[in-house]
Amino acid sequence: MRCPATLRFRVRRQLVWAALAATLAAIATPLTGQAQEQRRVPKVMLIGIDGVRPDALRQVPTPNVDALIRAGAFSDRAQTGLPTLSGPSWTSMLTGVWKEKHGILSNDFPFAQNGLSEYPDFLTRIERVAPALRTFAVADWPPLVKAQRGEGEVIGVPVISDAIDSKLFFDANRMGWAAADELSVDAAVRELRDNDPAALFVYLGNPDEVSHHTGSIEDEYRASIVRADRNVGRLLAAVRARRTSASENWLILVATDHGRLPNGSHGGDSEAERTIFVLASGPTTRRGTIAPAPRIVDVAATALQHLGLAPRPEWRLDGVAVGIDGR
């Protein structure tokens, strides 16, 4: 008959070996799903398409945006602020605060008196707290990226400050909006190919201008949305083509700044003008409809959260992260 002490020793030894085997198996097994993605380098690209009604987006062929929707979190009931103009709307999206804080109340440029120094765009936020991360922006609407100068001095600041690493402007009024959008995407593709950006903003302004020019939301406007979707596809292809893509966790944000009326105008408080879409797509997003419906100020907060730069109380952001990290 074995002694009880010997039996207890053997049982303990078996338990120790079982625990060790389980630990080794866990180490040897590759991570999958969200756990694996969270070990990759977080990166974010915000694609802003000006003046796209969500119902028009649904009614035209947009295979690239549709693929992002299937792989991510989406709302076609998101809300912008008042007035429903590009100046205050884009500033709210990029800063994460409402007009009462950022101070941009119209499209009048240059923006001389405002709160952008206290409430900067999300790319400038990144530069302030994590300057090692590369930031990039490109746009063809001057108030977003181009400082206004008079007699050699800056007399008005753009929404996106000069503090970011790379900022480009293409003059759509001179070369045409569709051509300028294409050049903006060309520049972003080069940035993705040649550098290592952590955060990008790419602006596409053609749909808004087409609707204003035609005074409608019909065929030409809808064709411009299809063209914008092709540009989204070019940007996604550039992300996939990166040599380091396998080690990166990309969040793709796509959003618009305001809706519009059937005659192409906007600026008022109607549902058609205030309703926008917001899309967050990537391996770590919560797939499906974002509920409750997000607000335009949530976009910047979502980008910062994904990069591991959770908004701080002293920033006094009005937005919160949506569609990611279980939100």
Summarised one tens digit per residue, pLDDT across range 229-268 is 999 999 999 999 999 999 999 999 999 999 999 999 999 9
DSSP state of 325: T
Q: Are 263 and 280 in contact, with CB atoms under 8 Å apart?
A: no
Question: Per-residue DSSP letters for 58-84?
Answer: HHS--HHHHHHHHTEEEEEEEE--SS-
Q: Cα–Cα–Cα angle for 160, 164, 166, nearest 5°?
A: 100
Instruction: Look at residue 148 in the predicted model and tell me its pLDDT.
Output: 73
Question: Could you tell me what percentage of the chain is helix, strand and coil, using 3-state DSSP and rounding each to the nearest 5?
Answer: 45, 20, 35
Mean pLDDT for 209-227 is 97
Summarize the confidence of residues 180-199 as an average pLDDT: 98
Q: For residue 19, what pLDDT band results from cuts at 50, 70 and 90?
A: very low
- Is residue 9 pLDDT above 90, yes or no? no
Confidence at residue 99, expressed as pLDDT on a 0 to 100 scale:
95
Same domain, 19 and 153: no
**How distant is the alpha carbon of residue 321 from its chain centre?**
11
Q: Do residue 305 and residue 212 come from a single domain?
A: yes
For residues 95-109, give the mean pLDDT: 91
Instruction: Indicate which CATH number applies to the domain containing 95.
Output: 3.40.720.10
**Cα within 13 Å of Cα(221), Cβ side:** 26
156 and 49 together in one domain: yes
- Helix (H) / strand (E) element for 253: namely strand 248-255
Domain identity same for 2 and 43: no
Cα–Cα dist 236/115, whole Å: 33
| Within a domain: 321 | no
Query: 80 pLDDT band (50/70/90 cuts)?
Result: very high
The predicted model scores a pTM of 0.87
Rounded to whole angstroms, how far apart are CA atoms 210 and 217?
Answer: 9
Q: Do 124 and 2 sit in the same domain of this protein?
A: no
Q: Which domain holds residue 138?
A: 32-315
Q: Are 193 and 250 in a shared domain?
A: yes
16-20 long-range Cβ contacts below 8 angstroms, 24+ apart: none
How far is Cα 310 from Cα 145, in angstroms, rounded to an integer? 25
Q: Are residues 49 and 4 in the same domain?
A: no
The pLDDT tens digits of the residues spanning 192-207 come to: 999 999 999 999 999 9
